[in-house]
Structure 1
């Protein structure tokens, strides 16, 4: 038999006011609700409806609204479960860092396996693997720790931050670390041609300024996707652009209160296709959905872990 809860019980469960629950019931925004006179009966297994007010003032494509509303609902749920203990944060960070380092480097051709990456980050040397692969793993780890530190300070992203992140990522190339490229490059098979070297600095400055303007008009996931697409299109460094770009993406996500995401090596074809779609067709939706899906999955994981800990 279907079980029901009262408006008051629903308000306590969802962390919103009873007035808001009644309004949602009256607007038929809660599935399965039954009205009996002045009272509402709400199915106990009904999820809290996404709060459309969170998108007010943002220009949201109709097709993307369900994605953003779902993410916002889960983020609100995670915020109610916070704070995490020091032990929980360390566990989440350490597990993610190994996985993220492996996948981000593998996308760019690093030959270390996931297990080998974990071993290298523990200080071991893998026989018959090049020094370059070892340094890339350590550099990426250090860059992730750096963005975690940056995320503690809610400041605008600076050109200096970008160069510092890249300097850590490219620790095996001392002559190129943190320096914009000085020669033209092409990206094999891509639908865009990176800007000429003399345009890199003004284009980065323009991108940073545009990113700040977009905070007022775009949902964070959409804004972050656009920044990532355009940063990679500028291709400011001779090497390490992808790794630096994915670290910048995670810096922004963390600052916005989302968990960091890990673009999987197994999804690399789908990931590359999002750039083609953007630069060929001018459509950022595939990148937005890719990032959104990863964020959604990470939110589920964080909520699940926190809920289990609270039940113990």
Structure 2
């Protein structure tokens, strides 16, 4: 870096004192920068790049390299530590994309609705919440092919009845999903951080009694998604991709709008498809855990043909083209509709 600074200064025809004046520092400090005995601050690096017409990325990389060498050059395990940190740093350094005008407009409408709802939280009712959570269980299972009606789902969950003509799996799917909703509400109330243990626990609840050997465990076989051209990753890299999934979450959880964060975490999880079964339900529960944790309400994707096709098509576009706009807009629309309905129910 020291050679880079001196060469750039001389190329610009600036004397040390002139550069010091432009940078608003003592001339002696410029000499120390160029000799390597002192390091500029980050703010000074940005100013130097502008004054000396040096590419900011080139100068910043040189500056960071010297900082790292200064801190770690005498450490015995420095190289191993850097190798371990490399993948994680790649996720923390992921540039943040700006949202589109259409999505920004939708998010503003959602936040206006949430602000309206926040003023009337005292009108929240356990019975209303219970009814909406029942609907969520019914619709989320219907997306996956469960044939229980809303009324039958209620009888199974709240009355403990067995519905004639329906399979044991369908009964367990209803009971398990309702318990999983209770679990994510528990995590929200505890203000628990989303991590691997919690996601595996959610999945364990979803498949409990259905595939006990696979419940809460990553798949060990390759899978294909019926009706989709997206091919999930090979089983031997699932654990690594899930590690990256949580790195991404930590890097972005404070930078993104909660609805966008929730949608991204849904899409990323179902794209990895880490489980042999129950990926969709688990992904939607993770999405709704994030929404609830930020004061929003459950985004309930309907299981009718039209809604299901819109959901699947926007999801597949995100998975196969890396264009997530349609999926983000779809989830935002569902959250907006869910907020509007909730507000109309409580009559505010």
TM-score bracket for the superposition, by shorter chain length: 0.7 to 0.9
Q: 1:138-177 alignment to 2 at 5 Å?
A: 138-171=175-208, 172-177=210-215
Change in 2 beyond 3 A, CA 1:203/1:151: same
Per-residue CA distance 1:200-233 (angstroms, 9 max, x = gap): 1121121112122223332111121111111001
Instruction: Report the equivalent of 1:51.
Output: none
Whole-Å Cα distance in 2 between the matches of residues 97 and 287 of structure 1? 23
Q: 1:164-203 alignment to 2 at 5 Å?
A: 164-171=201-208, 172-203=210-241
TM superposition shift of 1:106? 1.4
Task: Give yes or no for contact 1:250–1:261 (8 Å, CA) kept in 2.
Answer: yes
Task: Give yes or no for contact 1:222–1:288 (8 Å, CA) kept in 2.
Answer: yes
Change in 2 beyond 3 A, CA 1:257/1:236: same
Q: Name the SS for the 1:257 alignment partner.
A: coil
Instruction: Report the equivalent of 2:266.
Output: 228
Unaligned runs of 5+ in 2: 1-95
Q: Name the SS for the 1:63 alignment partner.
A: helix
Whole-Å Cα distance in 2 between the matches of residues 117 and 183 of structure 1? 32
Task: Give yes or no for contact 1:58–1:218 (8 Å, CA) kept in 2.
Answer: no
TM superposition shift of 1:131? 0.9
Instruction: Report the equivalent of 1:283.
Output: 323
Q: Name the SS for the 1:133 alignment partner.
A: helix
Unaligned runs of 5+ in 1: 1-56
Instruction: Report the equivalent of 1:204.
Output: 242
- The two structures have a TM-score, normalised by structure 1, of 0.76
User: Once superposed, which parts of structure 1, at least 4 consecutive aligned residues long, lie more than 3 Å away?
Assistant: 305-308
TM superposition shift of 1:195? 1.3
Instruction: Report the equivalent of 1:6.
Output: none
Task: Give yes or no for contact 2:262–2:286 (8 Å, CA) kept in 1.
Answer: no
Task: Give yes or no for contact 1:142–1:168 (8 Å, CA) kept in 2.
Answer: yes
Per-residue CA distance 1:76-128 (angstroms, 9 max, x = gap): 1111222345xx1x122211122111111111111211111111112001112
Change in 2 beyond 3 A, CA 1:82/1:124: same
Task: Give yes or no for contact 2:265–2:286 (8 Å, CA) kept in 1.
Answer: no
2:254 is aligned with 1:216: yes
1:60 aligned residue (99, 103, 112):
99
Instruction: Report the equivalent of 2:294.
Output: 256
Task: Give yes or no for contact 2:265–2:283 (8 Å, CA) kept in 1.
Answer: no
Number of aligned residues? 249
Whole-Å Cα distance in 2 between the matches of residues 215 and 143 of structure 1? 22
2:117 is aligned with 1:81: no
Whole-Å Cα distance in 2 between the matches of residues 83 and 204 of structure 1? 39
Whole-Å Cα distance in 2 between the matches of residues 215 and 165 of structure 1? 20
TM superposition shift of 1:302? 2.8
Task: Give yes or no for contact 2:241–2:272 (8 Å, CA) kept in 1.
Answer: yes
Q: Decide which structure has greater helix share.
A: 2
Structure 1 window deviating more from structure 2 (114-123 vs 190-199): it is 190-199
- The two structures have a TM-score, normalised by structure 2, of 0.68
RMSD: 1.7
2:159 is aligned with 1:120: no
Instruction: Report the equivalent of 1:97.
Output: 133
Structure with the greater alpha carbon radius of gyration: 2
TM superposition shift of 1:294? 1.5
Per-residue CA distance 1:32-76 (angstroms, 9 max, x = gap): xxxxxxxxxxxxxxxxxxxxxxxxx98332231111111111111
Q: Name the SS for the 2:190 alignment partner.
A: coil
